[in-house]
């Protein structure tokens, strides 16, 4: 926690400033500089191997595989499922461009479904599309918003369709007490700087499926017998070894391994996670409570089984014209709070119509309408309550001022 000033209002904080990396990382990096063991397969006790064991322990999964990004984890998950060329993969129409990109990279075809004004998958559209020759599903918990995982899993299990969870931005979120990322066949997380654990870049996948993880490990770049350094957490690894022997020399190597330096930065952040999640949720719910008192803002509630781990806030602007939305975003920015309106900023990577690398890009009217009013403001977990107030005051004040002007000019 930062000390807070008692003299006057607090300045609007820089929301792109991350929390410092724990000092223990520096010692681990110094040790790596001495030994120069930067490659994960140099030793049995490499930081990447230790990170995988610790992450699997934290998530309660049998296996974890650390890689270069969440995008790489999503790509490897699709490849590890053994999907044939042109297999159709159902994804939400509201996600980051990395998700459809991973599908294209795996030689599959992204199929988009509608997302509602609460940023969660429209289950009627999801179910309708699931019966259109879908081979796999990626559930992207966009900005940590969890869709109804009970309904999704039962629809997919009834059809034997595997579910990959894109939990890039959901580390620490739970659904009915279960950790997000452990509900589908495989879960993928990101360590990019804007996520709960920051290594600049990095990703990890978790699963209980020995065959799936063996395939992903080999394709991630465990050439020759480097797979012998991968174990099942806390138990004998005979089913894993059998899977590795089955797949030895059968799969291409994509070399998406994690560097030991990244693992050295990540490992000391794991004990900080519970605090970050707690503080992030307190900050989010505090700002949401204030915004929801205004008729012009709507922060949708989460679903009942969900406990969130937010480091940003999303809200919809209510009863405003396009011009008023733009004026609100511009005035907030001028006062120090960057508001991203997903559908209104040029070339936004989260607006599906900009994913023009997809053949026959569909129209999704409901998702489009949501994106034209949905706003995104970063709310790093390190913020104090007065700093949260400073941000909220800017948002509420900018709204008052643009509406006041509109009234004054009679529009």
Ligand X SMILES: *Cc1c(COP(=O)(O)O)cnc(C)c1O
Nearest distance, CB of residue 142 and ligand X, angstroms: 5
- Tell whether residue 99 is a contact of ligand X (CB under 6 A): yes
Backbone angles phi and psi of 123, in degrees to 5: -70, -30
Nearest distance, CB of residue 198 and ligand X, angstroms: 11
- Tell whether residue 395 is a contact of ligand X (CB under 6 A): no
Please return the burial class of 127, using the count of CB atoms within 10 Å of its CB with bins 0-12, 13-18 and 19+. Answer: middle
Locate tokens 């001022």: which residue? 401
Nearest distance, CB of residue 209 and ligand X, angstroms: 21
> Binding residues for ligand X, how many (CB under 6 A)?
15
DSSP state of 121: B
- Tell whether residue 192 is a contact of ligand X (CB under 6 A): yes
- Tell whether residue 371 is a contact of ligand X (CB under 6 A): no
CA 139 to chain centre: 11
Give the residue among 394, 197, 399, 383 at the shortest CA–CA distance from 296.
Answer: 399
257 or 290: CB nearest ligand X: 257
Interface residue with ligand X, options 98, 103, 163, 171 (CB under 6 A): 98
197 or 395: CB nearest ligand X: 197
Interface residue with ligand X, options 190, 198, 324, 392 (CB under 6 A): 190
Angle among Cα 98, 100, 105 to the nearest 5 degrees reads 85
CA distance 372 to 378: 18
Give the residue among 139, 196, 152 at the shortest CA–CA distance from 310.
Answer: 196
- Tell whether residue 166 is a contact of ligand X (CB under 6 A): yes
Please return the burial class of 393, using the count of CB atoms within 10 Å of its CB with bins 0-12, 13-18 and 19+. Answer: middle
Residue ranges in 201-240 that form contacts with ligand X under rule CB under 6 A: 203
CA 324 to chain centre: 30
Nearest distance, CB of residue 293 and ligand X, angstroms: 29
Nearest distance, CB of residue 46 and ligand X, angstroms: 21
Nearest distance, CB of residue 321 and ligand X, angstroms: 30
Residue ranges in 7-46 that form contacts with ligand X under rule CB under 6 A: none
Residues in touch with ligand X (CB under 6 A): 69-71, 95-96, 98-99, 140, 142, 166, 168-169, 190, 192, 203
């Amino acid at each position: 926690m930062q000390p807070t000033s008692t003299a006057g209002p607090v300045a609007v904080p820089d929301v792109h400033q991350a929390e410092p990396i724990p000092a223990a990382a520096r010692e681990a990096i110094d040790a790596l500089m001495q030994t120069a063991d930067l490659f994960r397969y140099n030793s049995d006790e490499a930081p990447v191997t230790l990170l995988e064991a610790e992450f699997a322990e934290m998530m309660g999964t049998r296996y974890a595989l650390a890689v270069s990004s969440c995008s790489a984890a999503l790509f490897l998950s699709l490849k590890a499922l053994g999907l044939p060329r042109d297999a159709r993969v159902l994804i939400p129409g509201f996600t980051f461009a990395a998700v459809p990109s991973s599908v294209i990279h795996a030689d599959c075809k992204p199929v988009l479904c509608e997302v509602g004004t609460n940023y969660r998958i429209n289950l009627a559209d999801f179910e309708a599309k699931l019966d259109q020759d879908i081979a796999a599903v990626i559930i992207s918990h966009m900005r940590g918003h969890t869709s109804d995982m009970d309904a999704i899993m039962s629809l997919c299990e009834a059809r034997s369709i595997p579910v990959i969870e894109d939990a890039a931005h959901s580390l620490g979120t739970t659904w009915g007490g279960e950790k997000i990322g452990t509900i589908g066949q495989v879960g993928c997380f990101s360590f990019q700087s804007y996520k709960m654990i920051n290594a600049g870049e990095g990703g990890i996948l978790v699963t209980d499926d020995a065959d799936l993880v063996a395939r992903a490990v080999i394709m991630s770049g465990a050439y020759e017998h480097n797979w012998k350094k991968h174990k099942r957490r806390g138990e004998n690894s005979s089913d894993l070894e059998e899977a590795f022997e089955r797949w030895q020399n059968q799969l291409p190597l994509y070399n998406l391994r994690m560097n030991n330096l990244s693992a050295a930065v990540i490992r000391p952040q794991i004990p900080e996670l519970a605090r970050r999640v707690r503080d992030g949720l307190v900050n989010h719910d505090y700002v949401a409570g204030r915004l929801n008192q205004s008729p012009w803002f709507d922060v949708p509630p989460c679903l009942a089984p969900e406990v969130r781990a937010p480091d940003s806030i999303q809200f919809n602007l209510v009863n405003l014209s396009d011009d008023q939305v733009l004026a609100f975003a511009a005035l907030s920015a001028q006062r120090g709070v960057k508001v991203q309106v997903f559908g209104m900023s040029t070339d936004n990577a989260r607006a599906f119509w900009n994913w023009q690398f997809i053949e026959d890009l569909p129209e999704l009217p409901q998702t489009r309408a949501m994106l034209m009013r949905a706003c995104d403001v970063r709310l790093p977990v390190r913020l104090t309550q007065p700093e949260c107030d400073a941000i909220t005051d800017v948002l509420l004040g900018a709204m008052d001022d643009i509406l006041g002007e509109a009234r004054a000019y009679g529009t």
